[in-house]
Amino acid sequence: MTTSAIQRIEEAYQAQLNRTFYAAWPENPRAYAEDAGAKGLEAFQKSLANNFKGLDDLGSHQWIGEEVSPFLQQGLGIQYPAFTTEVLLEKATSAQQRWSKTSVEQRADILVACLDKVSERFFEIAYATMHTTGQSYVMSFQASGPHANDRAMEAISMGYKELTRFPSQVEWVKNMGKFDLTLHKNYKPIPKGVSLVIGCSTFPTWNTVPGLFASLITGNVAIVKPHPKSILPIAIVVAEMHKIFADAGLPQGIVQLAVDTVAKPITKELAEHAAVKMIDYTGGSAFGDYLETLSGKTVFTEKAGVNSVILDSVNDASAVFGNLAFAASLYSGQMCTAPQNVFVSESGVATSDGHLSYDEVVSGIAAAVKGLAENPKMGAGTLGAIQNEITAKRVKDTMESVGSGAVAAASVVVDNAEFPDARTASPTVIAVDAEAVSTWKHECFGPIVFVVKTKDADHSLQLAAECARELGAITCQCYSTNSEFMDKTEETMNAVFTPVSFNFTGAAFVNQHAAYSDFHVSGGNPSGNATFTDAQYINRRFVWVGNRRM
């Protein structure tokens, strides 16, 4: 293992132990070569309407691809080699023999080198993410580039430390009175086997690489099954990894890309196969629930949830409304961490400038949302585009179902000067009574915000906790100037395994989870059963076995 890799892994691990800020790759595009952006765009454009280059296509039976740019509303025309389940698992099983025998130090060295190789294509990955997910350019660069790499490094460093936690061998001596009993003992972390990593359409690398690299560092090979509408970003990652494996004299089957189409999915076939021992999944709850029922599998899920905001009392109402508007508008609410339900007492909210009624709070949030959407410098860039037509339809159907009287801010198409055909929708803000649970008490993925009228702050907290316990929640935000209520909120929400962010304004947003510091998904409520990245996320991928010799 190289000195550089050891040092970087140690730095990352220390950041995890201390939960302090750390970034192995800068998130600002300007920190990279001046011409990197132009070269990334050129590389992306050259990939359009072509067979994707860089993946092992030996044994493939066809080339497929059906990605459509949410900004251009046109197909990308990129085709990827497709394999049968049998071929994928045959390659994986063969590669497992080599990879599991590769030392922990060698695996760590190789995987860090993979991330460095991927970083050379951050800008190309950014454009690939833009035109498959609808994220803005800057968000695409950060989320699919340096932030994703950091989450992967987090898995490597945690994995390396867990795998080397115990000595590999010891001389065990027990005094038996007249003699010593001496045994030679060794301890081996044995990988569980083939891992299946199922990606999502909105964050094709950020949500994929943690499980991928956690499995790889622990000696397991992986099959990456991306969403058929968001293949390109993770395909680039896998292609760069193949280069590093080849340079190290290792089989490319250590990581494979398994592509399919919406009409003919192969995910269940792969997941149910006896050779697949582990599954990482990001996506809807129904499929995640099914995966969790599969016997003989170790399953890590991030599923849907309903994230809450409890609005009790504030100092600066304008700053709070602006922060909520941005959090709800960022990537058009298509983030698993985005707020959906804002709970407000029927008596309103106390502020440093006087009391606001419930209706004034609704109007304030709606005005902030509309102001952001209509801002020519921020609107289009913050919202990005809607990845799936189903999401756009959900917004329209929700507004129609509640009626115009409840809609404080109607979702509108936001013009994007650079991409006039982009599929866009600003958030709709809907006022609703707490009793109307059929309206707000379920996940409404996308740019939809409900301002729920409650009896009082305690009732707001009660409903937020119920949502987390019954439906799952990844985030919760609370605004209060009352320290006792803040403590009560923290205790209540933590009891249903939900973290709380208090009084965020300015540049702090509830959507953002930082690698090395923030645990992403608690694993304790229905939003998912695993956490990026704690020790369980690593240790459930291998088994310690001890051997003894006389």
Please answer whether residues 234 and 222 qualify as being in contact, where contact means their C-beta atoms are separated by less than 8 angstroms. Answer: no
> Average pLDDT of the chain?
96
Whether residue 287 is found in the same domain as residue 356: no
Whether residue 171 is found in the same domain as residue 314: no
- What pLDDT band is residue 3 in, cutting at 50, 70 and 90? confident
The pLDDT of 432-457, averaged and rounded, is: 97
> Is residue 216 a part of any domain in this protein?
yes
Q: Rounded CA gap, 154 and 229, in Å?
A: 27
Task: Residue 543: count other Cβ atoms within 10 Å of its Cβ.
Answer: 12
> Is residue 515 a part of any domain in this protein?
no
Whether residue 266 is found in the same domain as residue 322: no
Whether residue 254 is found in the same domain as residue 339: no
Q: Rounded CA gap, 179 and 421, in Å?
A: 84
Tell me what pLDDT residue 264 has: 96
Q: Rounded CA gap, 127 and 130, in Å?
A: 5
Q: How many domains does the chain have?
A: 2
Tell me what pLDDT residue 1 has: 65
Whether residue 313 is found in the same domain as residue 300: no
> Is residue 277 a part of any domain in this protein?
yes
- H-run or E-run covering 372: helix 358-374
SS3 48: coil
> Is residue 523 a part of any domain in this protein?
no
Please answer whether residues 454 and 465 qualify as being in contact, where contact means their C-beta atoms are separated by less than 8 angstroms. Answer: no
Please answer whether residues 313 and 350 qualify as being in contact, where contact means their C-beta atoms are separated by less than 8 angstroms. Answer: yes
Residue 342 sits at φ, ψ, to 5 deg, of: -105, 110
Task: Residue 295: count other Cβ atoms within 10 Å of its Cβ.
Answer: 5
CATH number of the domain at 488, please. Answer: 3.40.309.10
Whether residue 319 is found in the same domain as residue 278: no
Whether residue 296 is found in the same domain as residue 391: no
Angle between helices 3-18 and 104-119 (to 10 degrees): 90
> Is residue 507 a part of any domain in this protein?
no
- What pLDDT band is residue 345 in, cutting at 50, 70 and 90? very high
Q: Which residue range(s) make up the domain with 449? A: 308-502
The pLDDT of 411-425, averaged and rounded, is: 96
Per residue in 229-273, pLDDT (tens digit) is: 999 999 999 999 999 999 999 999 999 999 999 999 999 999 999
The pLDDT of 197-221, averaged and rounded, is: 98
Tell me what pLDDT residue 529 has: 97
Whether residue 312 is found in the same domain as residue 458: yes
| All residues at 6 or more sequence positions from 161 whose CB lies less than 8 Å from its CB, including other chains | 13
> Is residue 477 a part of any domain in this protein?
yes
Q: Where are the beta strands (DSSP E) in 159-200?
A: 169-175, 180-191, 194-198
> Which amino acid, 392?
A
Whether residue 271 is found in the same domain as residue 313: no
The pLDDT of 490-502, averaged and rounded, is: 98
Whether residue 297 is found in the same domain as residue 438: no
Per residue in 9-62, pLDDT (tens digit) is: 999 999 999 999 999 999 999 999 999 999 999 999 999 999 999 998 889 999
With a cut of 70, say whether residue 121 has pLDDT above it. Answer: yes
Whether residue 328 is found in the same domain as residue 444: yes
CATH number of the domain at 102, please. Answer: 3.40.605.10
The pLDDT of 463-477, averaged and rounded, is: 97
Whether residue 382 is found in the same domain as residue 268: no
> Is residue 89 a part of any domain in this protein?
yes
> Is residue 339 a part of any domain in this protein?
yes
Per residue in 308-338, pLDDT (tens digit) is: 999 999 999 999 999 999 999 999 999 999 9
Per residue in 347-392, pLDDT (tens digit) is: 999 999 899 999 999 999 999 999 999 999 999 999 999 999 999 9
- What pLDDT band is residue 4 in, cutting at 50, 70 and 90? confident
With a cut of 90, say whether residue 414 has pLDDT above it. Answer: yes
Of 465, 487, 502, the position where a domain reaches its end is 502
